[in-house]
Chains A and B, each alone.
Chain A
Amino acid sequence: DGGITQSPKYLFRKEGQNVTLSCEQNLNHDAMYWYRQDPGQGLRLIYYSQIVNDFQKGDIAEGYSVSREKKESFPLTVTSAQKNPTAFYLCASSTLTKNYGAFFGQGTRLTVV
């Protein structure tokens, strides 16, 4: 089945540690995105990439980093510089040739203690 896989579903880390969230898609989509969701704030864009080896900052990129070495993969690293990392993280992908919107993974809930 085609889709977007995020792992792990739940992640616990100690304050001050970097952590990497995985996102893989087999939809052959060109574009991939990372969003952060907090209660009452909707989805906020962290980073997005429209082509391999290229990515752009979204609205809240500080304290995060990404890479896009393969079309299928777009991992997100939450660094120790992110002041409030506890949140629900969503990865999405879309085709650029047709405007069908974005398709989402099932999310990773990160808790920093």
Chain B
Amino acid sequence: EDQVTQSPEALRLQEGESSSLNCSYTVSGLRGLFWYRQDPGKGPEFLFTLYSAGEEKEKERLKATLTKKESFLHITAPKPEDSATYLCAVQAKSTASKLTFGTGTRLQVTL
């Protein structure tokens, strides 16, 4: 069974204080790993797809990396508008399009 574990559950940062969010996964043949951002009361917004170990993707202050067992979402010099819940999901080669999600990391960035 595919599993995704995210840590920490919650993270409070001051503006400009860089940090990383972790996503550990077990899957029988990774087809893709996905990062989403979710604001309260809204649907998740797609951020990145990673396909193989060693791959990295960047978007503004966010950078996602992937190893064979985990992925990191690095946040550099965060701003208050980066406050949200960040979700990680995996897709296995055997289950076609089905995504398995972690429970998310709730990030709060204060001034």
**Docked-complex contact A107 and B43, CB < 8 angstroms:** yes
Partner of B98, one of A40, A58, A88, A109: A58
Residue B41 CB within 8 A of the other chain = yes
Whether A99 pairs with B43 at a CB distance below 8 angstroms is: no
Interface size class of B (residues with CB under 8 A): 20 to 34
Contact string, A43-82, partner B, CB cutoff 8 A, digits 1/0?
A: 1110010100000001000000000000000000000000
Question: A100–B49 Cα gap in the complex (Å)?
Answer: 7
Q: B97–A40 contact, CB under 8 A?
A: no
In the complex, per-residue mask of B15-56: 1 if CB is within 8 Å of any chain A CB, else 0: 000000000000000011010100001111110010100000
Interface centre among A42, A88, A105 (most CB of B within 10 A): A42
- CB–CB B43/A90 < 8 A: yes
B91: interface (CB < 8 Å): yes
User: Once the chains are docked, how many angstroms separate the CA of A35 from the CA of B43?
Assistant: 11
Partner of A42, one of B43, B51, B103: B103
Determine which residue in B44, B51, B97 has the highest number of CB atoms from chain A within 10 A of its CB, and name it: B97
Q: Kindly state whether residue B78 has any CB partner on chain A within 8 Å.
A: no
Given A41-B103, A42-B104, verify A101-B98 contact (CB < 8 Å): no
Shortest CB-to-CB span from A61 to chain B, Å, is 13
Q: Given the complex, which residues of B lie within 8 Å of A41, measured CB to CB?
A: 103
CB distance from A38 to the nearest CB of B (A): 10
Indicate if the CB atoms of B97 and A48 lie closer than 8 Å. yes
* 29 pairs, CB–CB < 8 Å, chain A vs chain B: A4-B43, A31-B97, A33-B98, A42-B103, A42-B104, A45-B99, A48-B97, A50-B96, A50-B97, A92-B43, A99-B49, A99-B91, A100-B46, A100-B49, A101-B34, A101-B46, A101-B49, A101-B91, A101-B99, A102-B34, A102-B99, A103-B46, A104-B36, A104-B43, A104-B44, A104-B45, A105-B43, A106-B42, A107-B41
The residues of B with any CB-CB pair to A shorter than 8 Å are 31-32, 34, 36, 41-46, 49, 51, 87, 89, 91, 96-104
